[in-house]
A and B are shown apart, each in its own frame.
Chain A
Amino acid sequence: EEQLVESGGDLVQPGGSLRLSCAASGFIFRNYWMSWVRQAPGKELEWLGHIKQDGSERFYMDSVRGRFTISRDNGKNSLFLQMDSLRAEDTAMYYCATSTTPASGGDAFNLWGQGTMVTVSS
């Protein structure tokens, strides 16, 4: 069974840092682009960025560019999100997601983790 499991969410003070992890299983992780998506409480989904299969390309949305870094370890089937200079508005549930459906042609995410909660507050 294809599965993504996030971890690392916590309560952190403004200006602090946190590293989220996403463990993949049940599919060939190194073959797929991977994305991070977040959802603030009661708000819509926000795509944050993605990383290419070999890690050679990454893209970030303006809201996190320069503060967040996406990386991966294909040997450990793991995706990471390093979050620095955290702000109150970064408080959200963070999901890793991917598309393992070739017919979709891109980032139509058929596979999501359960999410990990990040709270930025003093």
Chain B
Amino acid sequence: DIQMTQSPSTLSASVGDRVTITCRASESVRNWLAWYQQKQGKAPKLLIYRASNLENGVPSRFSGSGSGTEFTLTISSLQPDDFATYYCQQYHIYSTFGQGTKVEIK
């Protein structure tokens, strides 16, 4: 199975900060990588697919990059609605999620 490792596990930031979350795969997943946002008690919401493609309706402050085994999700200017937990997911060979990164208010 492909393992996905996110860092950091928790991130404290302020409104307006630039935030970067990293996701590493145990083997190459090419660009079959998605990012999700999940708020407490809600289903995950797709933000990015194929590593760098913004899902319809997702604000442009979210961006994704990377290929192979290393990927990043960047929020260019953190907004109050962005405090949540973020997950990466590989879907190259079946599917695996990372362990999540919680973005907290500093």
Pairwise interchain contact B43-A112, C-beta atoms closer than 8 A: yes
Q: Evaluate contact between B95 and A35: CB separation under 8 angstroms.
A: yes
User: What is the bound-complex CA distance between A97 and B38, given in angstroms?
Assistant: 14
| A103 to B, closest residue via Cβ | B53
Q: A21-57, CB under 8 A of B: which get 1 and which 0?
A: 0000000000000010000000011110010000000
Say whether A103 contacts B50, CB under 8 Å: yes
Residue among B34, B38, B95 with most chain A CB within 10 A: B95
Indicate if the CB atoms of A108 and B99 lie closer than 8 Å.
no
B98 touches A108 (CB 8 A): no
In the complex, how many residues of chain B place their beta carbon closer than 8 angstroms to a beta carbon of chain A? 24
Residue contact A101 to B97, C-beta cutoff 8 Å: no
Count of A interface residues, CB-CB < 8 Å: 24
Q: For the complex, what is the distance from the CA of A62 to the CA of B55, rounded to whole Å? A: 30
What are the residues of chain B within 8 A of A108 when measuring CB–CB?
34, 46, 49-50, 89, 91
| Contact (A114, B43) CB under 8 Å given A59-B94, A105-B32, A108-B34 | yes
List the interface of chain B (C-beta within 8 A of A).
Answer: 1, 32, 34, 36, 38, 43-46, 49-50, 53, 55-56, 87, 89, 91, 94-100
24 contacts between A and B (CB under 8 A): A35-B95, A44-B99, A45-B36, A45-B44, A45-B87, A46-B97, A47-B96, A47-B97, A50-B95, A61-B94, A104-B34, A105-B49, A107-B89, A108-B91, A109-B34, A109-B46, A110-B49, A110-B55, A112-B43, A112-B44, A112-B45, A113-B43, A114-B43, A115-B43
Closest 3 pairs (CB-CB, A-B) = A108-B49, A112-B43, A108-B34
